[in-house]
Structure 1
Amino acid sequence: MDPGRIPSSPEMKNPVRHPIHFGFMASVGVGLALLLFFILTNVGQLLVWISAALFIALGLDPVVRWLEKKGVPRPGGIAASLLILVGIITAFFATLIPTIVNQTTQLIENGPGYVQDFLNSEFFRSVDEQFQVRDRVAEEANKVFADSGVIGGIFGGVLGVGSVIVNSLFGTLIVLVLTLYFLASLPAMKKWAYKLAPRSKRRRVEILSETITSSVGNYVIGQACVALLNATAAFIFMSIAHVPFSILLTFVVALLAFIPLIGAVIAAIVVTLVALTAGWQTTLLFVIPYLAYLQFEAYFVSPRIMHKAVSVPGAVAVIAVIAGGSLLGVLGALIAIPAAAAVMLLLEEIFIARQNRL
């Protein structure tokens, strides 16, 4: 044995097993996990903005690529797409926001009166005779209209006044800027991401990624078309039936119609409840044609628009929408179906293909 060499013990050969070293590394790991949790909880709004911008960018990317095929350079296509998007948003804020704010204020101020008219209607009196729910409904309705926080929650924090509108404008600006950067750098981002895959499988990863991103883009465009048609039909029917606050309700319908599967049903319920304050004749005059349109949309409009975007079984779609809505609200419900389609595609191309080779 070399006299100058210090014999090593088992603990020195494997320092990971030393209790002090293990405790220190465990403490560092817990600290990093708490730091990551703190960062995520404090930048949650930023993550929502990034997700929304990426979702919009993927939705506009098919339009930009279509313009490229027509000979328009990609920067020109990006500029044209964003100008159209900014024009639509600007027109919305310039024309609809004052009306929406005015009608929202009127609805909140006159809400208790509408509730009393509904409670005194023949329809509700017949229901109350069977179930004795008048006192309970009146109590809950008064709580709703007395609590500004509840009112803000009903309208998603978008239809408020003052600081809520300013925050919405600021968030919209941030999303538009991020969308511009994502659109401009999307090809470079994809090429860089493909380099993370092994060289032998890079081509297959590229094909799968392009399929998924194209599906998301087509889905966004298709869902926007469906929501626009739904809101237009609802506005026409509300105008014919003279439903109060038709412009405000059209905006609500457009937002809810973006939510797949259940959004249109929720919109129908919301408008029906408001229409009941004007009488059962108004309600029937709106509900019958709107429900007929929803059937037409479900069997003819949506399949024709969405058949090229995603193909997800109904049960999987419902579960995905509920899970996405629980996690991220409206944005989660929007991205739930393309995310489910992407997972199913990956399972088919990777796991099922491997199982077939065994």
Structure 2
Amino acid sequence: MKSRTLRSDIVFTFSLALALILAWYVRNVLLLIYVSALFAVVLTPVVKGIMKVRIGRWSPGRGVAILVLVVVVAGFATMFFIFALPPVARDLREFISELPTRGPQLLARIRKIPLMQRLDVNSLNTRIQDFAANFATYIFLSAKHWASKLFDIITGIVLTVYFMLEGEKAYHWMLSFFPVEMRQRLDKTLVRAEARMGQWLLGQGALMLILGTCSTIVFVALHLRYAYALGVLMGLFNIIPIAGAIITVSLALMVAAIDSWGRVLGVAIFYAIYAQLETSFLTPRIMQSRVDLPGLAIIIALMLGAALDGVRGALVAVPTAVLVAVLLDEYAVQSEPVICGPRSLSEVENLHS
């Protein structure tokens, strides 16, 4: 009996080690599957909302609702690529071609800033000219990398659609691996996590819409180049909390620096005010009230997600933190014992006896 138990332990340990090695080698594929499944869970409330729409006696089924969602997202993406990207690409080509002449002008403006007089203008000017000369070569050499990323995005979209279509079957199949007595508790826990993760999407969507609208209005008022494209990017990138807004604000500051320091100051003042408003009012009211996570937990989750897989990791960091928080609350966190009032001496003696 002992030898049989020992053999089964050895087989289990060997199988676990083999599975971990295999998971490490296909970690990129597993991460893509996880991200797609997570987005399917997050988008499920949207699909259910579309399914509740009634036209007479007809209401869309799950397949039609998913198709409507895909068409709407594809429509917005197409409008962005048609109307926003061509002017940006044209101006970007002109900017790169004029960079050798614009570079010294920009550096001269920078040297007028206090504490920047010691800046080595000649060295930076040489680097700017080298960058302009090598930019086309860099784009050509990185084409394969970007093609691979585009393929991952398309694959992720297809997987997300399939998870939304057949996620129920996959979910119940996963639950079948657990003992019957544990299955019901785990099911209720995951349903609670799904509800909170869906609330995250609604809250994040509201923050994206607010930032995108405010940014577009301010950029148009400042007569900033490609104001509409930058405003849309500000809203879209805000799906990555904190990091997304910092990236797009940096881009807006670079664009503003080409024309005047007044526009740079205007963009900086706008984002400083908005960051304070979002941190102190919008995020507590919209985000934390929906996902029930403290701000510190959100920041730590973003740092860990970005360290593990860059932008894609930061993108799914908050809903993953919601899932982990729900599981920990159910299985790890011990509730505090109920503190009773003082007992009489006879009750204490009875308990000891």
- TM-score, with length taken from structure 1: 0.75
Of the candidates 303, 314, 317, which is equivalent to residue 333 of structure 1? 314
C-alpha distance in structure 1 between counterparts of 2:160 and 2:114, whole Å: 53
> Gapped runs of 5+ residues in structure 1?
1-12
Of the candidates 109, 131, 156, which is equivalent to residue 121 of structure 1? 109
| Aligned pairs for 1:1-358 within 5 A | 37-40=24-27, 44=28, 46-47=29-30, 49-70=32-53, 72=59, 73-121=61-109, 124=112, 126-129=114-117, 131-135=118-122, 137-148=124-135, 170-353=151-334
Contact 2:211-2:234 at 8 Å conserved across structures: yes
> Gapped runs of 5+ residues in structure 2?
339-353
Contact 1:118-1:124 at 8 Å conserved across structures: no
SS at match of 1:352: coil
Q: Which amino acid aligns with 1:55?
A: L
* Cα separation, partners in 2 of 1:91 and 1:212, compared to 1, 3 Å: same
TM-superposed deviation, 1:209: 0.6
Contact 2:35-2:316 at 8 Å conserved across structures: no
Q: CA RMSD in A?
A: 3.8
TM-superposed deviation, 1:220: 2.6
C-alpha distance in structure 1 between counterparts of 2:23 and 2:330, whole Å: 33
C-alpha distance in structure 1 between counterparts of 2:328 and 2:104, whole Å: 55
C-alpha distance in structure 2 between counterparts of 1:164 and 1:38, whole Å: 19
TM-superposed deviation, 1:285: 2.9
TM-superposed deviation, 1:331: 1.5
Q: Give CA-to-partner distance per residue, 1:309-337, whole Å, 9 cap, x none.
A: 32222233222211211211112112112
Q: Give CA-to-partner distance per residue, 1:286-321, whole Å, 9 cap, x none.
A: 332343233333333333332453222223322221
Contact 1:57-1:183 at 8 Å conserved across structures: yes
C-alpha distance in structure 2 between counterparts of 1:208 and 1:196, whole Å: 16
C-alpha distance in structure 1 between counterparts of 2:136 and 2:202, whole Å: 33
Contact 2:216-2:232 at 8 Å conserved across structures: no
**Deviates further, 134-143 or 259-268:** 134-143
TM-superposed deviation, 1:102: 2.4
C-alpha distance in structure 2 between counterparts of 1:80 and 1:147, whole Å: 44
Q: Which amino acid aligns with 2:281?
A: F
**Deviates further, 83-92 or 63-72:** 63-72
C-alpha distance in structure 2 between counterparts of 1:113 and 1:323, whole Å: 42
Q: Give CA-to-partner distance per residue, 1:27-47, whole Å, 9 cap, x none.
A: 99988766554444xxx3x45
Q: Which amino acid aligns with 1:53?
A: S
**Deviates further, 176-185 or 228-237:** 228-237
- TM-score, with length taken from structure 2: 0.76
Contact 1:231-1:254 at 8 Å conserved across structures: yes
Q: Give CA-to-partner distance per residue, 1:238-264, whole Å, 9 cap, x none.
A: 222122343553454345322212332
**Deviates further, 334-343 or 168-177:** 168-177
Q: Which amino acid aligns with 2:39?
A: I
TM-superposed deviation, 1:343: 1.9
